[in-house]
Amino acid sequence: MQLVVARIGRAHGIKGEVTVEVRTDEPELRLGPGAVLATDPASMGPLTIETGRVHSGRLLLRFEGVRDRTGAEALRNTLLIAEVDPEELPEDEDEYYDHQLMDLDVVTKDGLEVGRITEISHLPSQDLFIVERPDGSEVMIPFVEEIVTEIDLEEQRAIIDPPPGLIDDRAEIVSARDDEAPSGDEA
């Protein structure tokens, strides 16, 4: 099974290094020296990692055969893809690969069917489940433990405890002004 593990960013310096947007929880395993990665677009690869280092909080990689800024810049926005055994699981029991979460049924803790996970969006602050509802509409569910209370891979479902308004439009709006409403004539 192929998993996207990173996206190449801009060139760094003049010796062929690139910044990398990491898309794996295991960069030391997937993005270490000697790793051979497929690419999207395929015409850019495969790429073999020669060196890697962290600089100012960003991962920098250099690939075999890329020796200058021009070569590095040509790789910009290329996705790096690792071949992963489908039976392999993340080291931490509370982590999941995207392929494990795709197509899970999403239900509330009360058993109300919400829909099915069709996409996972990785944002800087958190991940989002894009859930297709039975009527064809979509809802975005933040993948945080306060909302997604359980992932049950055996039953192929994600159990959520959504705050009001997340999956329906019946949000409860409370205002402090409601307490200050005039009660008629005041002297």
Answer yes or no: are the C-beta atoms of 141 and 132 closer than 8 Å.
Answer: no
pLDDT attached to residue 47: 94
Nearest alpha-carbon partner for 99 in 113, 84, 110: 84
Q: How far apart are CA 31 and CA 35, in angstroms?
A: 6
Pairwise CA distance, residues 139 & 179, whole Å: 33
- Percent of the chain at pLDDT above 70? 84
Provide the whole-model pTM. Answer: 0.56
- Residues of the chain under the 70 pLDDT cut: 25, 86-93, 169-187
What's the rounded Cα separation, in Å, for the pair 47 and 53?
A: 17
- Quote the CA–CA distance of 51 and 35 in Å, as a whole number: 10
d(CA 109, CA 162): 9
Separation between Cα atoms, residue 41 and residue 176, nearest integer Å: 54
What pLDDT was estimated at residue 174?
55
Share of the chain above pLDDT 90, in %: 42
pLDDT tens digits for range 23-62: 776 777 788 899 899 998 988 889 999 999 888 888 899 9
